[in-house]
Amino acid sequence: MGKIILTGDRPTGRLHLGHYVGSLKERVRLQNSGEFEKIFIMIADAQALTDNFDNPEKIRENIIEVALDYLAAGLDPEKVNIFIQSQVQELTEFTFYYMNMVTLARLERNPTVKQEIVLRNFENSLPMGFLTYPVSQTADITAFKADTVPVGEDQLPMLEQAREIVRKFNFTYNTDVLVEPEALIPQNETCRRLPGTDGKAKMSKSLGNCIYLADTEEDVQKKVMSMFTDPDHLKVSDPGKLEGNTVFTYLDAFCKDEYFAEYCPDYSTLDEMKAHYQRGGLGDVKVKRFLNSVLQEELAPIRERRAKWQQDIPGVYEILKKGTEVARAEAKTTLEDMKRAMKINYFEDGALMQSHIDKYAK
């Protein structure tokens, strides 16, 4: 059997550079690698509703934004199947049975969910749907028999959870219908968790520290020029620190040596530039200008593709609709396999009725 990918994003806002380096870029590479038989990319609206149940309008509006960002980033609907989670209703059925394979204590230990609970002030009013979203995420992955799940680092606990549920299910029902998935996280460490432009640990819409894929050239420039650097680097001649210096962190994630010749010929590698900064004599503005050029170079083709798709919204809807049909067919097949393994396929199991006939035969 060929390798299968499933991954996705919650449609709670436009996608930003953190999504791009953490996952989207990798998906585009994987899609073009020819190593995968099927690739499913899911817009996780049902999961987004677990903490936005009172604001469905927000999710509704952002589905198209995420779809546009996907296409803009270079995902190719000929090679990947983009679909909307809530429209594949089989997924909820998987979730229902997987709930039996996990304890409350186990769910409460999930470090990502724990953090998210605090962030959302859910400590005293935790919706069950939110606490159990890792179970529904297991459904997303296993319904497509995905073995590879490219995600950001924060999703590792979900994958661990999925693997446990799969093992427990296969063991309990003495079957191998479910496939144990592996996470695929970016090799470049800075790409795993890109900080916000303010230097805070994570790009996050609520912190207002994101550079979005759909930002204009001017927006990007403005955000780069006001980025957090080394607060002690006051004069150009002062030695500068690289640790926690967001501008250099972004360069670690995006810079290629060939950009120097074009945009900053004083150096030929990032290491040379860093060394000069540490020695003193290299000003933040110069580094920021260089980063801006690098980002504009990366974002220009994305912006162009987005502009094109924005003029073909019916085409985008068609992609989502087709993708959802394909996904549903796939999930339905796995669901039937799963229910057969659980022996809850009463009407297609002729031997069952026969055994009951025999039981009461005089």
Binding positions for ligand TRP, rule: CB under 6 A: 6-10, 44, 47, 137, 140-141, 149, 151, 155
Question: Which region, left, alpha or beta, applies to residue 185 given φ > 0 means left and ψ of -120 to 50 means alpha?
Answer: beta
179: which DSSP letter? P
d(CA 83, CA 140) in angstroms, rounded, equals 11
Shortest Cβ distance from residue 162 to ligand TRP (Å)?
8
Question: What does the CA dihedral 348, 353, 355, 358 come to, rounded to 10 degrees?
Answer: -150
Shortest Cβ distance from residue 103 to ligand TRP (Å)?
21
Closest CA to 110 of 89, 138, 86, 82: 138
* DSSP characters over 65-87: HHHHHHHHHT--TTTSEEEEGGG
Sequence-distant (6+) residues with CB within 8 A of 127 are: 50, 51, 53
Q: Which is nearer to ligand TRP, 52 or 137 (CB)?
A: 137
d(CA 73, CA 26) in angstroms, rounded, equals 10
Shortest Cβ distance from residue 144 to ligand TRP (Å)?
10
Identify any residues that bridge with 308 across adjacent strands, giving them in sequence order: none
Residue number closest to ligand TRP, CB atom: 44
d(CA 41, CA 212) in angstroms, rounded, equals 20
Q: Which is nearer to ligand TRP, 27 or 274 (CB)?
A: 27
**If 0-12 CB within 10 Å is exposed, 13-18 middle and 19+ buried, where does residue 282 land?**
buried
Q: Which is nearer to ligand TRP, 136 or 197 (CB)?
A: 136
Both structure tokens of 28: 């585009």
d(CA 183, CA 250) in angstroms, rounded, equals 24
Q: Are 135 and 110 in contact (CB under 8 A)?
A: no
Q: Are 143 and 87 in contact (CB under 8 A)?
A: no
Q: Which amino acid is at 313?
A: I
Q: Which is nearer to ligand TRP, 149 or 320 (CB)?
A: 149
Q: Which is nearer to ligand TRP, 51 or 215 (CB)?
A: 51
Shortest Cβ distance from residue 348 to ligand TRP (Å)?
29
Q: For residue 117, count other CB atoms closer than 10 A to its CB.
A: 18
Shortest Cβ distance from residue 12 to ligand TRP (Å)?
9
Q: Which is nearer to ligand TRP, 10 or 16 (CB)?
A: 10
Q: How far from the centroid of its chain's Cα atoms is residue 41's Cα?
A: 9
Shortest Cβ distance from residue 192 to ligand TRP (Å)?
14
Q: Are 334 and 143 in contact (CB under 8 A)?
A: yes
Site of tokens 């980063």: 291
